[in-house]
Structures are given as C-alpha cells and as structure tokens.
Structure 1
Amino acid sequence: MSIYDFEVTTISGRSQTLEPYRGKVLLIVNTATKCGFAPQFDGLEKLHQSYRDKGLAVLGFPCSQFMNQELAANSDIAEACRINHGVTFPLFSKIDVNGSSAHPLFKYLASEAPGALGTKTIKWNFTKFLVDRNGNVVKRFAPADAPEKMEGHIKKLLG
C-alpha cells in the first residue's frame, strides 16, 4: 500500500486520501494544542510558509492519547491552531496514533520509521515523520526536535 492510499478525514469532516500530496515532501505530525510542545506549531507554520511553494506539505493530525492534551471538538482544535499559532497548513480530524484504535496511517509511519531502540509506538505529541516525494518515509523526529532542526533535511529532499 502506498502512503497516498490512506484515507484521512479533514478537520472539517471531509474524507479523502493523501493522493493530493503525491509528489510533495510531507512532514506528518501528531499534534496537541494543550501540550507543552504546542509552541512548535509556530515553527511548523514557518516551514509551511517557507517551503510550500517548493513542494513541502505540513500535515497535522491532532491526537489526545497523551495525557488528554487535545481539545474535544475538531472545530475548537482548528480555531485554537489558527488563533494561537496562525496555522494555515492542513489539519485533519483528531485520531489515535497508538493501540488497537490507531489510525492506519500512523501504524504505517511508525513501522516504516521506528523510534529509539526500534520501537514502533509513538511516544508523545509532536512526533514528526518526513516523507520524500516518492512516498517513502525517510526519517522520524522526536517530539522534542524543534521544527527548525528539520529544515536541512527538508531542503535536501526538496532538491
């Protein structure tokens, strides 16, 4: 299965696949608006603004599995991201990233780019996955890795 075949739901409730992002470098992130790492939204938005015209797509997937650090309603999540961090990159419906209810996309990402010691679970909010233009998962970044730390990797993939 290709990464572009995964079905996702936009933050506004529309079902789609990742096919519209084929040929782009993707930075896929599980987010949480009440997390201590939430200031990373600003850095993610900066990457989006700097590189979207060169082929980068930042995709945010809210998750509340880690200490319930996400708002309940998708509309509230979208509003908080827009008002507090100026987010304009695509956000998707709240999902689980671990366990039996984990979204298939994140099961795939975690298996393609395991974490420390080969773990396939997502350890916390703001785990980031970098995907090349061909749909290959090339790198996992830890929650504490600031978006700025990824810029060199992104530029390399953008060519």
Structure 2
Amino acid sequence: MSSWWGEIRDTETAQIAVQASLTGHLVLSTLHTNSASGAVTRLRDMGVESFLLSSSLAGIIAQRLVRRLCPQCRQFTPVSPQQAQMFKYHQLAVTTIGTPVGCPHCHQSGYQGRMAIHEMMVVTPELRAAIHENVDEQALERLVRQQHNALIKNGLQKVIRGDTSWDEVMRVASATLENEA
C-alpha cells in the first residue's frame, strides 16, 4: 500500500485525495477546520460527493493548540457550579481544576508553552451511513460526542490534570460548543 501526504486546499486536490483513497492508497492530509465533523463539511463544499466521502474516509483527527499551565506556579481551585455542570455533561468527575497564577518562570503569565487538544472521529458504520446520507455538521458532531472523542472533552480532561486552564479550553473549543446547542 502506498501513501500520499499533502494539504487539501482546493477542489482538484480533494478529488485526487479521494480517488487515491478509493484505489487503496493511504491518504493522510491536513485541512483547516474547527472540528473533525467540519472536515466532512469542508470536503463537501469542495465538491466531493457524500457517497465518495463515506467510502473513502477511515477517520479524522482535529486538533487545536492551547496554552500549557506553568508547572511551577499553577494552583488547583474548586470548580464553579457552571464548570461542574459542563464536566458532568461530559461525564467527568472533578472537584478542583488547574488555574494560572504567574511567576518568574512564566514571566507572570501563568502559562509556559503550548499543547494540543484533539478529537478523533472514527468512521464507524453509523458515521459512514450518516456521511452517505448527507447529514449536517451538527448531526455528525453529535455522533462524534457519542464516541467520547470530542475536542471539548479532551480539553476538559487536560483541565482536570492541570495541564491547561478552563479559560483556554473554552476559548479554543467555543466553535464546537456552539454545535452542542
């Protein structure tokens, strides 16, 4: 099996990538979207037919960068009622979360470096059928959440560990939160 790697920026490249996938090539690519389900929408917008997408996709990973809490000065504070509700919605138990403070190591910012939060959309038979039936992005997003691989959940798990802050995850994942409404 040969592979192809490159960024999909236009209709022609999208069509080539899908055709390569359908002929047995492993295709790994990048595409600018806010979520894994958004990649399906973007490829459709580029003219790739839903039946071709459903046949050619194995999975999609979306990632966003968040600032990493400074390990020298981060503090763990109790969650607010609003935060507790969000954690509960995502089936995460938590009483405290990491918060930024600021120290000489991080130049008083509370953060030091960046890290990725990610989501993975595994194209199951159910998702394949949904893509083939041309369901909208919000419906695909709900199916991704059922897989427990959503961007927001991964971010919240990293908040619990003290790797990043609540504010960072909310800032970066706001586009996917809108799809949950």
Q: When the two structures are superposed, what TM-score results if normalisation uses the length of structure 1?
A: 0.22
What is the TM-score of this pair, normalised by structure 2? 0.20
Flag the structure with higher strand content: 2
Larger radius of gyration: 2
Query: Which structure shows the higher helix fraction?
Result: 2
- Give the structure, 1 or 2, with the largest relative contact order (CA under 8 Å, sep 6 or more): 1
